[in-house]
Homo-oligomer: A and B are copies of this chain.
Amino acid sequence: MSAWGSKSERVREHVLDLVETMAVGDRIPAERKLAEELDVSRMTLRGVIDDLVREGYLNRRHGSGSYVAEPKIAQPLTMTSFSDDMRLRGFVPSGRTLELVTVAAGARLARRLQVSPTEPVVRALRLRLADDVPMAIETLHVLAALVPGLTADDLEHSSFYDLLAARYGVQLGTGAQVIEPTVTSEEESARLGVPVHSPAFLFERTTRDSAGAVVEFVRSIYRGDRYQLTATLLAPKRRDQDRARSGPAPTIAESHS
């Protein structure tokens, strides 16, 4: 996976399109057949299918075939915005921008964003709703220089990550998110419509672009009565004895209760 016009990319699109036209549980064509149809070697097709299986689109059954997977109840958490996440789960996302200001980063935030403390930073406070029910409060910090002309309206009507890509040409790389349990403050409780000191998740996310530069720092409070995390644990690959390192990483997913 890398070059845009690579054979794998093209095959991936084809197979993904195919999967989307099929029903859950349907068997996709045999690898040898599909590879020939798409004019690639079987190994190339297998690489693509391997990815799709890993991503949860397909299941393999040795000796039987590859089948369109059940859409996960708990969708994997991707680096999408809240909006995309909610849509993925069948909710209508919306948001209200409670605050949108440009301020100097300050010491703490400057360290997070890896910039000078005097660097102008856009701080946006957003209430996030799913089906018009408050779900989370999000505080977004992003370099002002990176998003000239950003308005509250932008944030309410499109995914911030879409904006970053489409308008500002920022290609996202990896991100790290720390998750802690917390309880809501009075202000948070009022905004979320939950009792004070309700259990909640605190998410702190630092996102980088594909070059490794910090793009944003986001602090979110998710109400614990409507949000849960689901981790799928995989059996570790056997190793004759334990080492100082660990096995395969499990996946995590968000879901609603």
Contact = CB atoms under 8 A, between A and B. Distances in A.
A75 B242 CA distance: 14
A145 interface: no
A222 B9 CA distance: 42
Contact of A244 (B71, B175, B176): B71
Interface in A76-124: 76-80, 84, 88
B233 A84 contact: no
A240 to B, nearest CB: 7
Contacts of A229: 178-180, 229
Given A231-B176, A234-B174, A251-B250, A57 B181 contact: no
A173 B20 CA distance: 29
**Copy number of this protein in the oligomer?**
2
A236 interface: yes
A76 B246 CA distance: 7
A33 interface: no
Nearest to A253: B249
14 contacts: A54-B249, A55-B237, A75-B246, A78-B248, A78-B249, A79-B247, A79-B250, A174-B234, A176-B231, A177-B230, A179-B231, A181-B201, A210-B235, A229-B229
Nearest to A239: B16
A173 B177 CA distance: 27
Contacts of A79: 233-236, 247, 250
Among A43, A173, A210, A229: residue with most chain B CB under 10 A: A229
Interface string A143-157: 000000000000000
A133 interface: no
Nearest to A69: B245
A55 B249 contact: yes
A53 to B, nearest CB: 11
